[in-house]
Copies of this chain bind each other. A is one copy, B any other.
Amino acid sequence: MARKSRRSYVVGVDLGGTKILTALINKKGEIVAQAKQATEAEMGPERVIARIAESVERVLRRADVVPERVLAIGVGAPGPLNPETGVILNAPNLPGWVDMPLAERLRDKTGLPVFVENDVNAGTYGEFKLGAGRDVSDLVGIFVGTGIGGGLILGGQLRSGFRHVAAEVGHMIIVADGPRCGCGACGCLEAVASRTAITRDLVAAIKAGRTSILTELAGDKLDDLTSGVLAEAVQRGDALTLEMLGWAQHYLGLAVASIVNLIDPEMVILGGGVVEALGEYFLAPVRETAFANLIAKHDLQRVKIVAAKLGDQAGVLGAAMLAVARVGKRK
């Protein structure tokens, strides 16, 4: 009993294709130390796993906490993966990661229980436990960046899905036979409302002769617009940017309506770089379109469509909180 109560910390890791974020979190869900380092994915899985283990050591050292006081490590990782076994089936952004038993390898290196979950699921769980969704038990997370990912919390539980691939919000088909998506299908939400889609349409319009302040703001990086540059173009009232963002907002609103019509959650949380950079300006029209397209008009005001609160920290916090939930179940 005395021993158990000593384990009052948990580590969260957000494993991305370019960087690893690691945080030591206390019982209150506060980050007490964190580390950020390059993934060095090109060096292969063993190197990446060693770097994760190093980053765990680093946050412990920074907070002057011994490993014996850590309950578990939670890792948010790119999928598809199996959260029950902690095996990553394959990860397009991480060369060589095929059927990689990440949980087992990291457990062997650290001596701590390790739990692995899809990174966007982890981020959604973070918002549920410590962010915008703290007071609800039923929510859908939608994160808009270069792609669009999501997570489902139903009845206070993360829904992983039968094949552990639930919540692929970005691959709901919204524009049948529309623009080709990276996944091969046509008209997926990601193909019409991600930053990649917005950029594609902006570049095409500019090439077709439309003028935009973006040519000045982005210089030769027009093909790789950041959310910050888009936000600046909006602030300057750039008509073309407003038009293209308007389409993304329209399609996101229709997707939110579809999701609410299907799942009827209490809350939809929108996050990711585009939403963070533009805030309520971006969110308000999405909410309006969603409400206009809901089938059940009663109790409309009870459906909350809100911005994420945790930003980049959603992943490490969620991965850590999931580890706490799962180590509890295992006992």
Contacts and interface: CB of A to CB of B under 8 A. Distances in A.
A165 B262 CA distance: 8
B176 A264 contact: no
A295 B165 contact: yes
A172 interface: yes
A163 interface: yes
Interface stretch (A34-42, A296-304, A305-313): A296-304
Interface stretch (A109-117, A252-260, A322-330): A252-260
Contacts of A254: 173, 176, 187
A171 B303 contact: no
A265 interface: yes
Interface residues of A, number: 50
Interface string A258-279: 1101111110000000000000
B175 A175 contact: yes
A113 to B, nearest CB: 25
Interface string A149-174: 01010100001111111111101111
A151 to B, nearest CB: 11
A173 B171 contact: no
13 contacts: A162-B302, A166-B263, A167-B264, A168-B295, A169-B262, A171-B257, A171-B261, A173-B174, A175-B175, A176-B187, A183-B295, A185-B293, A262-B263
